[in-house]
Copies of this chain bind each other. A is one copy, B any other.
Amino acid sequence: MTTTPIRNLPAVLDTGRTLLEPALRAAISSHLGPEMRRIARYHFGWADADGRPTGNWGGKMIRAILALLSARAAGATAADGLPAAVAVELVHNFSLLHDDIMDGDETRRGRGTAWTVFGVPDAILAGDALLTAAASVLLSAPGAGARSATLALMTATQRMIDGQATDTEFEQREDMTLAECVRMAGDKTGALLGSACALGADLVGGERHLVERLGAFGEHVGLAFQLVDDLLGIWGDPAHTGKQVGADLRVRKKSLPVVAALTSPGADELRALYLSSEPLAESDIRVVAELVERAGARDWARNEAGRQIAAAQECLVSVDIPDDVRGELQEVAGFIVGRRL
């Protein structure tokens, strides 16, 4: 997920963070070796490159918050869900460390990415260390659910890894279908978000049906987020997205609305423009956006996001969840999907 300045954070995000910060710090201290701790503390924003404390706290920890809510959904306390929350946050940050290397991104949260500060080898190792620690944290948790939860988290991680690779591959291909792209987005973005929503309940021994419904809720939210993010990458207001108009088009990103248009009948003009290797002029970008819209792909993406949100809501209907927790899950989901609409 990309990040943007946060406004009007749901209250649950703040209360969750007071639990999460010390737990995440403790996990880094006890599960990482001394070399890797340095890099992790920099990456999380707690320390500068020389290890001096910054007093800051990086990231919104949305996935960790969802894991805490997941434990409460199963009738346990947020504290019971902490190992799940910490583990999913570690997996998310493992993926950020490696993605920044793979994409060559030089800044994150207003600072140099880890590989620009510590070099590629140490940044690769730091990602490896966070992934390894994620499994260790969950397996060290008390309770019978630890094994099942860890296996579920690893399965989601595997989907995320394959989704990332497929995304890169699609950028080189011209013949992928819309269904393939939706599946890829589900793997890349939906899998870990779904895992976050299921993991707390799984860890505290929640019923299978509840764990599955919570996971499906998170997957739908993840896909809705991706669709909204893709819409904003084409038609978003630069004042809110922090990106240029048509930012995704400029780099010829094969986002979901674009693929919906490319694979629709009569897309010859769009394909000729978008799949060529000539640089796109600013006027071309406007033409592409129009062609994508005229193909009905903007409406498709909006409708599909709406369907995913409705499907997510539906997942919480037939399950026994405390009302306040259901409300907070919906609030966080709304924040994820709607924050920049």
Which of the segments A59-67, A127-135, A268-276, A314-322 contacts the partner chain?
A127-135
A159 contacts partner chain B, Cβ-Cβ < 8 Å: yes
Asked whether any CB of chain B lies closer than 8 Å to the CB of A310, the reply is no
What is the CA–CA distance of A128 and B157 in the complex, to the nearest angstrom? Answer: 9
For A119, the closest partner residue in chain B by CB is B168
Q: State the copy count for this chain.
A: 2
B150 touches A124 (CB 8 A): no
Q: Is A139 an interface residue (CB 8 A)?
A: yes
B136 touches A158 (CB 8 A): yes
Q: Does A155 touch B at the CB level, under 8 Å?
A: yes
Selected contact of A161 from candidates B98, B132, B157, CB within 8 Å: B132
Residues 103-136 (chain A) with a chain B CB within 8 angstroms: 120-122, 124-125, 127-129, 131-133, 135-136
Interface residues in A142-167 (C-beta closer than 8 Å to B) = 146-147, 150-151, 154-155, 157-159, 161-166
Query: Does A36 touch B at the CB level, under 8 Å?
Result: yes
Q: Which residue of B lies closest to A38 (CB)?
A: B165
Is there contact, CB below 8 Å, between B132 and A158?
yes
- Main SS of chain A's interface residues? helix
A127 engages B128 (CB within 8 Å): yes
Residues of B within 8 A of A101 (CB): 120-121, 124
**Supplied contacts A128-B128, A135-B154, A139-B150, 18 more A-B pairs, CB within 8 Å:** A34-B162, A35-B162, A36-B162, A36-B165, A98-B124, A101-B120, A101-B121, A102-B125, A122-B168, A125-B165, A129-B161, A132-B154, A132-B157, A135-B135, A135-B150, A140-B151, A146-B147, A147-B147
* CB<8 Å pairs between A and B, sample of 30: A31-B158, A33-B158, A33-B161, A33-B162, A33-B187, A35-B165, A35-B169, A36-B162, A36-B165, A98-B124, A98-B125, A98-B128, A101-B124, A102-B124, A121-B168, A122-B165, A122-B168, A128-B128, A128-B161, A129-B158, A129-B161, A131-B131, A132-B161, A133-B154, A135-B135, A136-B154, A139-B147, A139-B151, A140-B151, A150-B150
